[in-house]
Chains A and B, each alone.
Chain A
């Protein structure tokens, strides 16, 4: 086996040094009752060629662009990834390193993560960003737990217009505790209804997503005021941070914790993971923050250098009193995001965000012209909800035959929106793609 370098002679010599008679002898401390009574029921090792053919055949069954034209976002976005990002990310000095516990041998990762923290802080308008969490959903769960820690309160209010999966993950994280999650409904315009917040006493946090699951831009100022009036933290989640290239970022709207999904920035969709949990807050709360942090310092000769810092918050030091149990995070995905943002720059970011918005607006307009109703009239980014006529399911199936995926049906997560679809468009859909979709839907 090519990953195992030992020759028979090596093994014999080494067994001799360790005073074992054979390889089995090394396992003398494993009691018989703890052992398998059969060999592993696995196939013969595949050759590299056999493996490639097999896995390629599995991949070939998947519906992906460009053969398929997808109009689905909902937390996973098809954005163009420049080859330079893919190429740089493949450098094995980055990918085959461990967490940089020994900073002298990990300055590459450390500076890159420090830069990531900085770029994301600027993007979100926040002061401190951590080195990454798993995904947008667990980032929201961590934000809720952090708000509970900071305020010493046990109830949080979460908008129903937050991604349904993110809300489910929050429920999972709190199910064994006495923390309570209250739901804020949404208004007929698709934004969160804040009218019940003043009656909800002792809230640790008020959380919305903007753009929300329906693509609608929330009114963060109003949410922040409602939260702060009751002494709660204002948490903003997101699944499409590209929006902040155009729209006001959460930091400028008084958010205390900002958390979400960074997959849009140079990370392949990959059937939902790995992606990137982004997490930022204000300096005053940094000691309550989950996750790793890279800080700037200097070496013995006074040169600028970077190191993991404020580690006393973390599980390997604080154990059961840690701010989170997270250890392995999604560092390489954070590097991808930093490389992508560095490639875009401020000029490119604004241009790309505007392009995304304009494409989605184009499709929205074509659909309304064709007679489809858009139930929520708030401003949207990339995604919007469309009401479809009865019997649309057949049209949806027909479109699938033509390799067009006409959005995500909403009835499963929002029974009240049965008959509505969430459509998503990015810069990767052409005007011709959109015209084809509208034409097919009309016919």
Chain B
């Protein structure tokens, strides 16, 4: 396990209190889990991803991430419809550990409500929250 100051928390994404990140690009939002989340979960062995076309509310459970001995649920950082899923995670869930903000992305969402973006945390706010957790 890494210390908080050893974790990469890029500034080009926003964070949820449940440790998902969201990156706006054009009219979709890409979603993954933060370096903190993958570090605490450990080597990821299996990812259960929602299907393209499914819609969820902000904060709704939409998937599951598993390591050998732990389980973490994936929650929607913004509401909307899933428009793409990262199918390479099926064969290589370790991508989430290796590059959480790039090859380890999980889903693309067409956001339902732009106002929700503002509820998400900046990297500074998220780091502050993590320091409070430990």
- A/B contact in complex, CB under 8 angstroms: yes
Chain A interface category by residue count: under 10
Is A32's CB within 8 Å of the partner chain B?
no
Q: What's the Cα separation between A294 and B68 when bound, in Å?
A: 13
Contacting residues, chain A, for B71 (C-beta < 8 A): 312, 317-318
Chain B positions 30 through 52: 1 when the CB is less than 8 Å from some CB of chain A, otherwise 0: 00000000000000001000000
Q: What's the Cα separation between A287 and B46 when bound, in Å?
A: 10
For chain B, residues 57 to 86, give those with C-beta under 8 angstroms from any C-beta of chain A. 66-71
Contacting residues, chain B, for A368 (C-beta < 8 A): none
The tally of CB-CB contacts under 8 A between chains A and B is 14
Is A309's CB within 8 Å of the partner chain B?
yes
Contacting residues, chain B, for A312 (C-beta < 8 A): 46, 66-67, 69-71
Q: Which residue of B lies closest to A312 (CB)?
A: B66
Q: How far is the CB of B45 from chain A (nearest CB, A)?
A: 8
Q: Which residue of A lies closest to B64 (CB)?
A: A312
Q: A309-B68, A317-B71 are in contact. List 12 more A-B contacts (CB 8 A).
A: A287-B46, A311-B68, A311-B69, A312-B46, A312-B66, A312-B67, A312-B69, A312-B70, A312-B71, A317-B69, A317-B70, A318-B71
Contacting residues, chain B, for A317 (C-beta < 8 A): 69-71
Q: What's the Cα separation between A309 and B67 when bound, in Å?
A: 10
Chain B interface category by residue count: under 10
For chain A, residues 300 to 324, give those with C-beta under 8 angstroms from any C-beta of chain B. 309, 311-312, 317-318
- 14 A/B residue pairs, CB under 8 Å, sorted by A: A287-B46, A309-B68, A311-B68, A311-B69, A312-B46, A312-B66, A312-B67, A312-B69, A312-B70, A312-B71, A317-B69, A317-B70, A317-B71, A318-B71
Query: Which chain B residues have a beta carbon within 8 Å of chain A's beta carbons?
Result: 46, 66-71
Q: Which residue of A lies closest to B67 (CB)?
A: A312
Q: What's the Cα separation between A61 and B64 when bound, in Å?
A: 56
Query: Which chain A residues have a beta carbon within 8 Å of chain B's beta carbons?
Result: 287, 309, 311-312, 317-318
Q: Which residue of B lies closest to A318 (CB)?
A: B71
Q: How far is the CB of B14 from chain A (nearest CB, A)?
A: 28
Q: What's the Cα separation between A407 and B59 when bound, in Å?
A: 62
Q: What's the Cα separation between A200 and B68 when bound, in Å?
A: 40
Q: How far is the CB of B73 from chain A (nearest CB, A)?
A: 9
Q: What's the Cα separation between A311 and B69 when bound, in Å?
A: 6
Q: How far is the CB of B81 from chain A (nearest CB, A)?
A: 22
Q: How far is the CB of A298 from chain B (nearest CB, A)?
A: 14
Q: What's the Cα separation between A312 and B46 when bound, in Å?
A: 10
Q: How far is the CB of B126 from chain A (nearest CB, A)?
A: 26
Q: How far is the CB of A102 from chain B (nearest CB, A)?
A: 12
Q: Which residue of B lies closest to A316 (CB)?
A: B69
Q: What's the Cα separation between A318 and B67 when bound, in Å?
A: 12
Q: Which residue of B lies closest to A309 (CB)?
A: B68
Q: Which residue of A lies closest to B69 (CB)?
A: A311
Q: What's the Cα separation between A317 and B66 when bound, in Å?
A: 10
Q: What's the Cα separation between A312 and B70 when bound, in Å?
A: 6
Q: Which residue of A lies closest to B73 (CB)?
A: A321
Q: How far is the CB of A294 from chain B (nearest CB, A)?
A: 14
Q: What's the Cα separation between A207 and B71 when bound, in Å?
A: 33
Contacting residues, chain B, for A309 (C-beta < 8 A): 68
Q: What's the Cα separation between A309 and B69 when bound, in Å?
A: 8
Q: Which residue of A lies closest to B48 (CB)?
A: A287
Chain B CB within 10 A, most for which of A309, A312, A318? A312
Contacting residues, chain B, for A287 (C-beta < 8 A): 46
Q: How far is the CB of B10 from chain A (nearest CB, A)?
A: 29
Q: What's the Cα separation between A312 and B68 when bound, in Å?
A: 7
Q: How far is the CB of A375 from chain B (nearest CB, A)?
A: 51
Q: What's the Cα separation between A317 and B71 when bound, in Å?
A: 7
Q: How far is the CB of B72 from chain A (nearest CB, A)?
A: 10
Contacting residues, chain A, for B69 (C-beta < 8 A): 311-312, 317
Q: Which residue of A lies closest to B45 (CB)?
A: A312
Q: What's the Cα separation between A19 and B114 when bound, in Å?
A: 63
Question: Nearest 10 pairs between A and B by C-beta?
Answer: A312-B66, A312-B71, A317-B71, A318-B71, A311-B69, A317-B70, A317-B69, A309-B68, A312-B46, A311-B68
Q: What's the Cα separation between A287 and B66 when bound, in Å?
A: 12
